[in-house]
Amino acid sequence: MPKRSLRPTMRDVARLAGVSPMTVSRVQAGSALVAPETRDRINAAIAALGYVEDKVAASLSSRRTGFIATIVPTLTNSTFADTAHGLTEALRRSGYQLLIGYTRYRMSDEESLIRTMLERRPEAIVLAGMSHTEAAGTMLRGAGIPVVEIWDCGEADPIGYAVGFSNIESGRAAARHLIALGHRRIGAIGPTIGDDAHDFRGEARLTGFTEVLREAGLSTDRIVQRGDVPLSFAGGAAAMAHLLDTAGPLDAVFAISDLAAFGALMECQRRGIAVPGSLSVLGFGDFEIGDQCVPALSTIGIDAEDIGRRVGELLLRLLPGDAGDHGPTPTAVTDVGFKIVERGSTAPRPVST
């Protein structure tokens, strides 16, 4: 029997207002079935005591925590932060609370995070990617709540729902675009494939890219995978340096992330290599930096915030809400697509050369 709480409880409020706890509970829940005077008296008591509802107890009793578990690879990358932002905004007025965790791109972290989050009894779980450990898959399937996999779709069946795009297809599109510009000696930059740490989506993009190069009869020798997951500025610059030092003449380079592409761009700048004059650089993700740098970065555009927003709308329809009718049953897969954003870092291959 723990020592009595320092904070006022609903009982304290009820006592002060001269009603039963149940009536206070009704006021908290915004029920209209309370007499206006009673409500005022209760609100006065709440203010007087500085009462703050205990949602832990409320959650246990009502069996609704209002938590949405969200698991992403990293927070440090604006992409997933944007998605979390979109999700938060979509959920803003609904009273749901995001429970955010990140995996550092490690499957083992993801697995333990899923368990930890499930212990908090979220009403839904949102996580990046379609690849999980076996134990993770079992937990997700047995969780009894909506599961939404994001940032990828099209290749495999989702556990529950999926909101994303085809990473493989986006990689293929990148390759086709560079080929269409007349480039032939094409390179690509991706991260090292680790044991536990994986950027599955970046790898899928590289896979699609490689496929198209091969189909076009072009060499895939200029595809480098080096640097820690996730590849950032410095990793992109280092990979570019490696390409430049060892791969011979080069027409164009695709990086699996704008961060790496920007690093590559800066490496070119440092070496006095004209972009796009003598080398085209194509990024991925449409990060804000690509729009601002000089030259502006051509990229494959993904609307990260929109992914979050759509997940929020999906959840609002899936979860029992006070809004009543939630429309038709949602489809399992939402493909938000991608688009090629042509800016200043890509150009047709010069006629001479």
Partner DNA sequence: TTGTAAGCGTTATCAC
Partner DNA sequence: GTGATAACGCTTACAA
- What one-letter code names the amino acid at 267? E
Of the ranges 14-22, 68-76, 297-305, 345-353, which one interacts with DNA (CB under 7 A)? 14-22
- Helix, strand, coil % in the chain, rounded to nearest 5: 45, 15, 40
**Taking CB under 8 A as the criterion, which residues in 155-214 touch a copy of itself?**
none
Q: Name the burial class of residue 321, with classes exposed (0-12), middle (13-18) and buried (19+) by CB atoms within 10 angstroms of its CB.
A: middle
- Residue 71 in tokens: 């698991």
Binding partner selected for residue 271 from a copy of itself, DNA, none, CB under the kind-specific 5 to 8 Å limit: none
> Residue 29 binds which one of DNA, a copy of itself, none, with CB within 5 to 8 A depending on kind?
DNA
Q: Which is nearer to a copy of itself, 103 or 166 (CB)?
A: 103
Of residues 39 through 58, those in contact with DNA by CB under 7 A are 39, 53-54, 57-58
| Range in contact with DNA (rule: CB under 7 A) among 27-35, 138-146, 271-279, 308-316 | 27-35
Partner from DNA, a copy of itself, none binding residue 28, C-beta < 5-8 Å depending on class = DNA
35 lies in the binding site for DNA (CB under 7 A): yes
Show the tokens assigned to 321: 């809400």
Give the separation between CA 271 and CA 279, rounded to whole angstroms.
12
Per the structure block, which two tokens stand in for 162? 């999926």
Binding of DNA at residue 291 (CB under 7 A)? no
Compute how many residues bind DNA; rule: CB under 7 A.
Answer: 35
Going by C-alpha positions, the residue among 212, 245, 208 that lies closest to residue 226 is 245
Strand partners, 15: none
On whether the CB atoms of residues 345 and 280 are closer than 8 A, the answer is yes
Binding map of a copy of itself across residues 4-23, x = CB under 8 A, - = no contact:
-xxx----------------
Kindly state the tokens that stand for 299.
Answer: 């990229």
> How far apart are the C-alpha atoms of 294 and 303, rounded to whole Å?
22
Sites of contact with a copy of itself (CB under 8 A):
2, 5-7, 50, 52-57, 59-60, 62-63, 65, 75-76, 78, 81-82, 84-85, 88, 97-100, 102, 115-116, 118-121, 138-139, 142, 144, 232-234, 237, 262-263, 266, 269-270, 288-289, 291-294
